[in-house]
Amino acid sequence: MPGSLAAFMSYARFDDQHDDGQVSRFRERLAAEAVSSVPLRPNVVADAVTLVDEEVSEKGLIIKGAYKTVTAFASGIVKDVIDALLPDFLGKLQPYWADFTASGGGAFGDYLAARGEEVSEALLSVTDARAAASERAPLRKAYNAVRPSGVKNVESALPRLGALVQKYAA
């Protein structure tokens, strides 16, 4: 876990004075989990898994089938993938968060939803790279089956995703 914690914290590569240091404070809170009895990262990951489960439950048969295939093939993979990709996802969201806070705030989920396709493509670039690098053919096949509808599916999750980020970054 300590190695992955350092990797997670590396996403905040830029000076974030423009947003009153909120990104740095979020990173510092996660750094503090190394000595805290109440770790933050597992809570973020658990909330993200819940978000994914809720989003999948509202989708059609193809998405539900692909999700079932992936989770049957590798139990715990959703949690593990979220945990592994969290730094990259946050890195993709950081410019949006900076603009959101500079523009006065509000609900980050609404902000993301208003930029749906752009934000979705940014987030999907992370999973596209991960899928392309996977040596597990069933996982690549399942991902490629749902990727054509990826933007639409990610867009529908942006309000919840924004709320999740805002919950921990604020």
pLDDT per residue as tens digits for the range 3-25:
444 444 444 444 455 556 666 67
Tens digit of pLDDT for each residue in 67-98?
888 889 888 989 998 998 998 999 999 999 99
Tens digit of pLDDT for each residue in 96-148?
999 999 998 899 999 999 999 999 999 999 999 989 998 989 878 888 888 88
The pLDDT value given to residue 24: 66
| pTM of full prediction above 0.75 | no
Binned at pLDDT 50, 70 and 90, residue 44 comes out as very high
Residue 154 burial by Cβ neighbours in a 10 Å radius (0-12, 13-18, 19+): buried
**Chain center to CA of 123:** 7
The pLDDT value given to residue 100: 94
Binned at pLDDT 50, 70 and 90, residue 31 comes out as low
